[in-house]
Amino acid sequence: MTTPDPPPARELLRTEGIRKTFPGVVALDGVDFDLRAGEVHVLLGENGAGKSTLIKVLSGAYRADAGRVLRDGKPVRISGAEAAEKLGIATIHQEFNLVPQLSVAENIFLGRQPRRLGIVDRKKMEADAKVLLDRVGVTASPRTPVGELGIAGRQMVEIAKALSLRTRVLIMDEPTAVLTSEEVARLFAIVRKLRSDGVGIVFITHHLEEIPAIGDRVTVLRDGRSVGQVPADTPEDDLVRLMVGRDIAQQYPRERGKADADAGSAPLLRVSGLRKQGVFEDVSFEVRAGEVVGIAGLVGAGRTEVVRAVFGADPYDAGRVEVAGRQLPGGDVWASHTAGLGLVPEDRKGQGLLPEASVADNLALVTMREASRGGLVDRGGLRKEAARIADRLGVRMAGLDQHVRTLSGGNQQKVVIGKWLLAKSRVLILDEPTRGIDVGAKVEIYQLINELTASGHAVLMISSDLPEVLGMSDRILVMSQGRIAGELTAREATQDAVMALAVGTSAPGTSEMEDSPRGH
């Protein structure tokens, strides 16, 4: 006698035919999606596929133009964030909705503080917060200012805040994007606990390897449509095919012939004996035209600190930086730019873009000063050049006047790179160039790197994605504790060899990717 299959879990949420348009753009075109109690349903798709728009409809930030949302089988109208909260729907966005100056307890109960005789009952608020913090494994005091917590701690506070609302539907948008592997493991433990408590979780990620580890089902969006629903253990190649509508035969299409040909040429970038007390020491390397030099290392190794000093964004104590034989003064970004050096920072939204400005203005940021005569900017000329660069890079947009914040992550990254191309930079420093962008956009960035090096540019690339460093670098510098622990050619480099240098062992110790953090 066979055991009957258990009945399907209760449906918590369903969308039917959701449509949402913006001027010149159809963001959602009839999207169907459902979520059951006690499951993690992964929402997958390239940047621009419609994921963010869908969760903003569910969280009340946007109103759908057509279609309907059902909660527990009943049609509902989500008119705003408060309406979503009343329906038990909470969203944790990539940019946390927390006030750094307020305490953990104050953030959890912001706007809903318990009161006694009209006065905030801080003792009860902090006691209630402590219960929630214990549930999500946060050891910090409820009185700790949120600004003193790391990214992982702030994320757990967001989850605690969601639980304080008696959330039954929890939407998590790229929750692992800037976490180390250890922090990801802790987050997954919390997600599994919430799932066992019957919470339905919508989980958005670009890390395909996470899907079978945490998910139950996957819905794939492409061009604003739901194109498939598959089990979480579906092979990655099949997921990629659903996401982009084509096979990606080679994930890291590095073309190394040009770099090999120029191996004997004079370096475009030379760094000698760079030192900053307590941060990095005796850092020396060269990058030639046509070459991609990768920098690998574990968290705290000093990678970002070094390249910011090279670019002039941060001062250093000793050493020398030269571009095409010209020595640069330390701490002078403008001198670096005029010498032909450009930096694409790891935080593209906070440091690389003006989110409220247009695509055209962002592309012209670096060259606006040079395009000015008598205090007047040649906006027509800049706009023409911006259009040329946007077309060259294939920036997907409604037009040059579109606010850059409304672009997908991959297209935002193209704009950050594009402003340096418009400035005719010959040496590009790319710090985490594909963080937070989907697999299709990653390949476009890799192809752009190939085009740049083929045309004589030099690229210095930092990445916490070890396969990316191995796949796209001609040479790899491995940093450990503020120093360059070693250099490997593309032929010598393996995960074992890189990790051995990164952790300071004389022989390969481990190649396990979970030992390598996602961040710096």
Q: Which amino acid, residue 517?
A: P
Predicted confidence at residue 382, as pLDDT, reads 80
Instruction: Give dist(CA 218, CA 214) in Å, integer.
Output: 11
Torsion of CA 429, 432, 433, 437, to 10 degrees: -170
Task: Return d(Cα 427, Cα 342) in angstroms, integer.
Answer: 6
Q: Residue 164 phi/psi, 5° resolution?
A: -65, -20
Give the model's pLDDT for residue 511: 35
Provide the residue ranges of all domains of the chain, joining segments of one domain with +.
Answer: 11-244, 249-340+426-520, 353-424
Query: Which residues of the chain fall below pLDDT 70?
Result: 1-8, 47, 178, 246-251, 255-264, 299, 369-378, 505-520
Tell me what pLDDT residue 509 has: 38
Q: Which of 443, 408, 436 is nearest to 49 (CA)?
A: 408
Integer Cα distance of 175 and 162 in angstroms: 14
Domains 11-244 and 249-340+426-520 share a fold: yes
Residue 288 one-letter amino acid: R
CATH annotation of 11-244: 3.40.50.300
- Please state at what angle helix 151-164 crosses helix 181-196, rounded to 10 degrees: 10
Q: How far apart are CA 500 and CA 456, in angstroms?
A: 32
pLDDT at 513: 34
The predicted structure's pLDDT at residue 98: 85
* pLDDT at 264 (0 to 100): 58
| Residue with tokens 């040079």, as numbered in its chain | 370
Axis-axis angle for helices 151-164, 122-135 (nearest 10): 110
The fold adopted by the segment(s) 249-340+426-520 is Rossmann fold (3.40.50)
